[in-house]
Chain A
Amino acid sequence: MKVAYFPGCSLHSTGIEFDISVREVCKAVGIELEEIEGWICCGATSAHATNHLLSLAMPAYSLALAERMDVEDVVAPCAACFNRLKHTAVLCQDKATFEKVRELLPIPWENRLRIRNLLDLFVGMLEEIKPKITKPLSDLKLASYYGCLLLRPPHICQFDDPENPTTMDELLRACGAQVVDWTHKTECCGANLTIPRSDLVVELTYRILKSAKTAGADAIVTACPFCHLNLDARQADVHRVKGEIFNIPILYFTQVLGLALGIPAKKLGLRRHLVDPFLIPTLRRR
């Protein structure tokens, strides 16, 4: 299966290990990723806070480029990119909005492609993936963390239950891991306030880390580069403010799936995290 790949800025920078693992895993399960040539910013950072029309036109431009490719689906692993692309596709189902956006685009756009996130794609082909899982992670206890942008607003994202999502749990279980039942799987990590209100972010991050630890998780698994950055990089601040050391690794679900598929740890970017995943004894052997 060939899909158009929209990596977004994070997967080219702070979340490069997400990109690395996405590419590895997709190769392993038979998804051909073709990066959209000339893609531009999805607008998640400031466009949608300043100009509504612009926030639709920016993703629309990249989607228009993708329509030139021989694909049905656009895959955006980053939750924020997924959210913006999906917003555009859904809101432009309204004819008047669609026309306004189209006028701004230098190239034709039909709004005909499906916007997928990777979780959605993988869970959809779980039966095909399962036989390929050669190294199940049976002694790993994981907390699946969905964050907000993958699920909300529900009428836009149209993906899983916004309050009690289970898709990632399903995928991780298929990887052989034990998935813990915990309380903060959709709580805000505070990433959007990371610069102006870092005090709040420390508090929010602390709650999530605490909840995962209480539930007995060895690691937290995310689907969003913002969540990842925040939970991974803030642990030092949390230690300073709250006096509590967590040292709980934050993994991408693609990394977990990659390990289960038998891809060596070094090819999945596991060494790029701040909290060392190899603190977990099981992973040291991979």
Chain B
Amino acid sequence: MPRVGVFVCWCGVNIAKTVDVEQVAQKASTLPGVVYSTSYRYMCSDPGQELIRNAISEHKLDRVVVASCSPAMHETTFQRAVSEAGLNPYFMEMANIREQDSWVHEDRELATEKAFELIAAAVERVKRAQPLEPLEFSVEKKALVIGGGIAGIQAALDIAEAGFQVYLVEKSPSIGGRMAQFDKTFPTLDCAMCILSPKMVDCYRHPNIKILSYSEVEEVKGFVGNFEVTIKKKARSVNEDLCTGCGLCIERCPTKATSEFDEGIGERKAIYIPFPQAVPLVPVIDREVCLWFTKGRCGLCQRVCPAKAIDYSQQDTYIKEKFGTIIVATGADIFDASVYGEYGYGQHPDIITSAQLERMINSSGPTKGEIIRPSNGKHPESVVFIQCVGSRDEQKGYPYCSRVCCMYTAKHALLLKEHLPNVKTYIFYIDIRAFGKGYEEFVRRVQDEFGAIYIRGRVGRIYPENGKLIVQGTDTLLGQQVKVEADLVVLAAALVPRKDVKDLARKLNISTDEYGWLMEAHPKLRPVETMTKGIFLAGTCQFPKDIPDSVAQASAAASKAIAIMQQESLFSEPVVARVNKNKCVGCFSCKEVCPYSAIEEETVLEQTSGLEKKIAKVNPGLCQGCGNCASACRSQAIDLLGFTSEQLIAQLEGLAKVERE
């Protein structure tokens, strides 16, 4: 017969105010199997834990029930306490008499009774507990970073500096991401490329970093410490080892296409390097437009290449690698502003997005830093900015605030004035959100020193008239309609989740929120972790962020990854599902409901017939102990350790017995 000790916590007044803790402790001592019972002001405090440890040795307890808060708060605390006293940690059970009782009830008498019932149930359950031991497995000391923007670059550098190998996988031909497209950064106006390119070069030269550009993650298997990843290296048509980056091929290429890097306002060749500082500095052939691939002629680049690096026959290749941890830093897309028919984006060339203006301001951009009206190539005299295009708009876009638009718009208003001192700038806004260090001061400067006119209100229509664009909106502070004549209209399109993010999330077995942003494990306390152990988030794939926040999150994600990889081996939570081989009929209903792909197939010999049969097997490394499989199993062949059917039924019976009395 197990010897159970019950420890009732007051939690200051949190529990004691509504529950008569002393009476509960006294009553609990009468429960069958309970040999010791007491209450204490703060059970989680040092003296509280000491009290538990002493009682275990003094009263020879082999099972413990702590009646306090939710196990989500202090399960580990009390498990540690009992194991310090020599008990298996899974011989400790918590009865939640705070969140599920004192906090939600007012009647002291009934709450006291409920506390007792919960304890009685926990006692019955703990009596049937089995000792569980954590599983040990090895850790691959190599990290995978998906996405080569500033977040991915920072994370890769941090991990590499800590002495671990990193594979940095980037979908496009060069690392650098969004930041590489920018001209200056707010609020300090550092030149974006001047601060980014040293980091890109560091990545390239670091002995611990391997950059796989023009590559994508194809498949992810395994679990923390032991991820097995297949990476597709898309055919570049240029041999990276031979190419010297001289650019002769690009010069000679006769075919032009729209430049993605220039946000559609510039052109590139069919063979191209997206921007001068690209890393790696190796061109790629766009097979969709290249004459060789579309019409089977030309071949000019191959003829002129002095290094004989052009290889039309290149195929996609697949690389299989093992990784201990994964950092996802895939960034964000930009909202399609043409959704707003009233703004006329896509219908009039002088209505552009902020990203396009950014490329225009950039001296390596399509206009070499000249700010012009695309319709006639002349300098604009009046520019209207519209904020919150696609953000803070439940009707046409997303309800959330995109966080960076207020600041980059202020930056654009300033840069415009620097380039064209006579330009007039107007900014239609809902609220100015300048939350960061030095941000409010920056916006103030843009208003005071750079003469930007902020108009609080939305724009209802933009239409051309006499060679100008008429921006018609409301000024909600004046309560009047306003009309502004503009030469150029710039739409601050929101950051939105990547179109293909759900695909990636599925491969990685991590979740996305209602919009498609990748989900952190806890919005406040675990902001860079995902619910899948060993996979971390950095940058705008989680939510819109500016550069300082992306970098900070990237370093945080890197340190989390390092903390895992510096361990010799990992121990997993023993609360995993287990299949009873004799009972399993191999229907694999469990496989369908498992969110972690932890159910594998196993062939065994059937005891009676001696025939082979296929049954389910749980991979304990992947299993997160959710219990879906156990409830889906028709033949009751699956038990969740620590939550066995026997334990749960005993717990229910515990409740029922009290009820009868």
Chain A positions near chain B (C-beta within 8 angstroms): 154, 161-164, 183-184, 187, 211, 214
Instruction: Contact check, B463 vs A184: say whether CB atoms are below 8 A apart.
Output: yes
Instruction: Contact check, A163 vs B341: say whether CB atoms are below 8 A apart.
Output: yes
Of B342, B464, B465, which contacts A163 at CB under 8 A?
B342
Instruction: Contact check, A161 vs B463: say whether CB atoms are below 8 A apart.
Output: no
Instruction: Contact check, B464 vs A183: say whether CB atoms are below 8 A apart.
Output: yes
The answer for the CA separation of A67 and B340 in the assembled complex, in Å, is 38
Closest to A161 in B: B341
Please indicate the chain A residues that have their CB under 8 angstroms from the CB of B342 in the complex: 163-164
13 more contacts with CB within 8 A, not counting A163-B341, A163-B342, A183-B463, are: A161-B341, A162-B341, A163-B340, A164-B341, A164-B342, A183-B461, A183-B464, A183-B465, A184-B463, A187-B461, A211-B463, A211-B465, A214-B465
Closest to B466 in A: A214
Residue tally, chain B, CB below 8 Å to A:
8
Closest to A187 in B: B461
Q: Which of A161, A163, A183, A184 counts the most chain B CB atoms within 10 A?
A: A183
Please indicate the chain A residues that have their CB under 8 angstroms from the CB of B395 in the complex: 154
- 17 CB-based A-B contacts, threshold 8 Å: A154-B395, A161-B341, A162-B341, A163-B340, A163-B341, A163-B342, A164-B341, A164-B342, A183-B461, A183-B463, A183-B464, A183-B465, A184-B463, A187-B461, A211-B463, A211-B465, A214-B465
The answer for the CA separation of A206 and B266 in the assembled complex, in Å, is 39
Please indicate the chain A residues that have their CB under 8 angstroms from the CB of B465 in the complex: 183, 211, 214
Q: Which of A154, A161, A187 counts the most chain B CB atoms within 10 A?
A: A187
Count, A-B residue pairs, CB within 8 A: 17
Closest to B463 in A: A183
The answer for the CA separation of A184 and B342 in the assembled complex, in Å, is 10
The answer for the CA separation of A214 and B119 in the assembled complex, in Å, is 82
A2 to chain B, nearest CB (A): 36
Closest to A163 in B: B341
A206 to chain B, nearest CB (A): 13
The answer for the CA separation of A183 and B342 in the assembled complex, in Å, is 9
Segment 455-487 of B: residues with Cβ below 8 Å from A: 461, 463-465
Please indicate the chain B residues that have their CB under 8 angstroms from the CB of A211 in the complex: 463, 465
The answer for the CA separation of A211 and B461 in the assembled complex, in Å, is 13
Please indicate the chain A residues that have their CB under 8 angstroms from the CB of B463 in the complex: 183-184, 211
The answer for the CA separation of A38 and B464 in the assembled complex, in Å, is 48
A218 to chain B, nearest CB (A): 20
The answer for the CA separation of A199 and B335 in the assembled complex, in Å, is 39
Interface string of B383-397 (1 = CB under 8 A from A): 000000000000100
Please indicate the chain B residues that have their CB under 8 angstroms from the CB of A164 in the complex: 341-342
The answer for the CA separation of A154 and B342 in the assembled complex, in Å, is 14
Closest to B338 in A: A164
B465 to chain A, nearest CB (A): 7
A265 to chain B, nearest CB (A): 33
From DSSP, what is the main secondary structure of chain A's interface residues?
Answer: loop
The answer for the CA separation of A162 and B396 in the assembled complex, in Å, is 11
Please indicate the chain B residues that have their CB under 8 angstroms from the CB of A183 in the complex: 461, 463-465
Please indicate the chain B residues that have their CB under 8 angstroms from the CB of A187 in the complex: 461
The answer for the CA separation of A154 and B461 in the assembled complex, in Å, is 17
Closest to A164 in B: B341
Please indicate the chain B residues that have their CB under 8 angstroms from the CB of A184 in the complex: 463
Please indicate the chain A residues that have their CB under 8 angstroms from the CB of B340 in the complex: 163
The answer for the CA separation of A163 and B463 in the assembled complex, in Å, is 12
Q: Which 7 residue pairs of A and B lie closest in terms of their CB atoms, listed nearest first?
A: A163-B341, A183-B463, A164-B341, A163-B342, A161-B341, A187-B461, A163-B340
The answer for the CA separation of A284 and B464 in the assembled complex, in Å, is 33
Please indicate the chain B residues that have their CB under 8 angstroms from the CB of A161 in the complex: 341
Please indicate the chain B residues that have their CB under 8 angstroms from the CB of A163 in the complex: 340-342
Segment 294-343 of B: residues with Cβ below 8 Å from A: 340-342
Please indicate the chain B residues that have their CB under 8 angstroms from the CB of A214 in the complex: 465
Segment 336-358 of B: residues with Cβ below 8 Å from A: 340-342
B147 to chain A, nearest CB (A): 35
B484 to chain A, nearest CB (A): 15
The answer for the CA separation of A214 and B465 in the assembled complex, in Å, is 8
Please indicate the chain A residues that have their CB under 8 angstroms from the CB of B464 in the complex: 183
Closest to B462 in A: A183
Closest to B344 in A: A183
B182 to chain A, nearest CB (A): 31
The answer for the CA separation of A162 and B341 in the assembled complex, in Å, is 8
Please indicate the chain B residues that have their CB under 8 angstroms from the CB of A162 in the complex: 341
Interface string of B165-203 (1 = CB under 8 A from A): 000000000000000000000000000000000000000
The answer for the CA separation of A162 and B395 in the assembled complex, in Å, is 12
The answer for the CA separation of A211 and B465 in the assembled complex, in Å, is 8
The answer for the CA separation of A183 and B464 in the assembled complex, in Å, is 8
B341 to chain A, nearest CB (A): 3
B366 to chain A, nearest CB (A): 27
The answer for the CA separation of A161 and B461 in the assembled complex, in Å, is 15
Closest to A214 in B: B465
B462 to chain A, nearest CB (A): 8
Closest to A203 in B: B481
The answer for the CA separation of A102 and B463 in the assembled complex, in Å, is 46
The answer for the CA separation of A143 and B461 in the assembled complex, in Å, is 18
B393 to chain A, nearest CB (A): 13
Closest to B341 in A: A163
Closest to A200 in B: B481
B376 to chain A, nearest CB (A): 19
The answer for the CA separation of A211 and B342 in the assembled complex, in Å, is 15
The answer for the CA separation of A164 and B464 in the assembled complex, in Å, is 15
The answer for the CA separation of A214 and B470 in the assembled complex, in Å, is 14
Closest to B461 in A: A187
Closest to A162 in B: B341
The answer for the CA separation of A118 and B7 in the assembled complex, in Å, is 76
B134 to chain A, nearest CB (A): 53
A248 to chain B, nearest CB (A): 17
The answer for the CA separation of A154 and B341 in the assembled complex, in Å, is 13
Segment 437-471 of B: residues with Cβ below 8 Å from A: 461, 463-465
The answer for the CA separation of A204 and B465 in the assembled complex, in Å, is 16
B480 to chain A, nearest CB (A): 12
B345 to chain A, nearest CB (A): 11
The answer for the CA separation of A81 and B465 in the assembled complex, in Å, is 34
Closest to A153 in B: B395
A21 to chain B, nearest CB (A): 29
Closest to B343 in A: A163
B467 to chain A, nearest CB (A): 12
A220 to chain B, nearest CB (A): 16
The answer for the CA separation of A183 and B341 in the assembled complex, in Å, is 11
B227 to chain A, nearest CB (A): 45
Please indicate the chain A residues that have their CB under 8 angstroms from the CB of B461 in the complex: 183, 187
A201 to chain B, nearest CB (A): 14
The answer for the CA separation of A184 and B462 in the assembled complex, in Å, is 10
Interface string of B519-550 (1 = CB under 8 A from A): 00000000000000000000000000000000
A190 to chain B, nearest CB (A): 12
The answer for the CA separation of A162 and B340 in the assembled complex, in Å, is 10
B472 to chain A, nearest CB (A): 9
The answer for the CA separation of A164 and B340 in the assembled complex, in Å, is 9
The answer for the CA separation of A164 and B395 in the assembled complex, in Å, is 15
Closest to A207 in B: B472
A156 to chain B, nearest CB (A): 13
Closest to A182 in B: B463
Closest to B460 in A: A187
B469 to chain A, nearest CB (A): 10
A179 to chain B, nearest CB (A): 15
The answer for the CA separation of A80 and B340 in the assembled complex, in Å, is 25
The answer for the CA separation of A163 and B346 in the assembled complex, in Å, is 14
Interface string of B539-575 (1 = CB under 8 A from A): 0000000000000000000000000000000000000
A74 to chain B, nearest CB (A): 27
The answer for the CA separation of A286 and B341 in the assembled complex, in Å, is 37
The answer for the CA separation of A283 and B395 in the assembled complex, in Å, is 43
The answer for the CA separation of A161 and B347 in the assembled complex, in Å, is 15
Closest to B469 in A: A183
A159 to chain B, nearest CB (A): 14
